[in-house]
Amino acid sequence: MPKTGRPPLELSGLKVHYLQVLYRSGTSPSSGAALWLCLCTACNSKKEIEATQLVHGKAQSCGCLRGVLITRRKTKHGHNRTGARSTEYTIWSQMKNRCTNPQALAYKDYGGRGISVHPGWVTNFEAFLHDVGYRPSPEHSLDRFPDMNGNYEPGNVRWATRVEQANNSRRNRWITFRGETLTIGDWNKRAGLSHGSIARRLDLGWSIEEALTRPPRERATKARS
């Protein structure tokens, strides 16, 4: 019995990326592959595409988007265009550098202290942006919070203003009183005291309650024994 060949693939109506397959148009003289006429929805032109390119999804347009698609593959959602890195992408790069590069100027305060970057963020800017979001304003920068000595990881990173970052600094002195924890600077504001008042009171031996509750007219004199 004569051998029967495999029936040709029917691709009419198939949509592959920006290509809408119209009908079988012939055979490639060079490869012998079936050719299908396709409408490129990106530029509204028509082109013959080999069936194998369509079936395996290798063809995405008539060729008009080749440069755009190559650029996209080399960038991170447009955040790393040549000469036009976004602020978020730059901050992400700097975060990784100070935690992983011993040659970085700030390494001793970050990677040198054991601070690391979440594994899912190290090679994936998109994951970082998804978890942290866009910077709200030029006044915001990246901050580790609530654990200022913790790692850059989901749940411990936020966009913060300079004031918020200052309050989260390792140099700050934190005081817990009546179930609330604030920096000395914030307690001074809360009590209506001048800068440094509470610190002086505590250094002179006042109790936390006295230092935080006595009115401004009370001079910071040595506590009675």
pLDDT tens figures, 160-172: 877 666 665 545 6
Distance CA 198, CA 212 (A): 7
First and final C-alpha spacing in the chain: 115
Average pLDDT, the chain: 79
pLDDT of the residue at 161: 79
Amino acid at 80: N
In Å, what is the CA distance from 133 to each residue of 33, 80, 96, 98, 126? Answer: 47, 16, 17, 21, 10
pLDDT of residue 168: 59
Instruction: Please return the burial class of 193, using the count of CB atoms within 10 Å of its CB with bins 0-12, 13-18 and 19+.
Output: buried
Amino acid at position 177, single letter:
F
Tokens 């396709």, residue located: 38
Q: What percent of the chain has pLDDT over 70?
A: 78
Nearest to 23 by CA among 10, 42, 4, 36: 36
| pLDDT score of 169 | 55
**The pLDDT of residue 8:** 64
- What pLDDT, on the 0 to 100 scale, is given for residue 50? 92
What parts of the chain have a pLDDT lower than 70?
1-8, 65-84, 163-173, 217-225
Overall size of the chain counted in residues: 225
pLDDT tens for 39-78 read 988 778 899 999 988 888 888 888 876 655 554 455 545 5
DSSP string, the chain: -PPPPPPPP--TT-EETTEEEEEEEEE-TTT--EEEEEEETTTTEEEEEEHHHHHTT---SSSTTHHHHHHHHHSSTTTEETTEE-HHHHHHHHHHHHHH-TTSTTGGGTGGGT--B-HHHHS-HHHHHHHH---SSTT-EEEE-S-TTS-B-TTSEEEE-HHHHHHT-TT--EEEETTEEEEHHHHHHHHTPPTTHHHHHHHTT--HHHHHHS-TTS--PPPP-
pLDDT of residue 224: 46
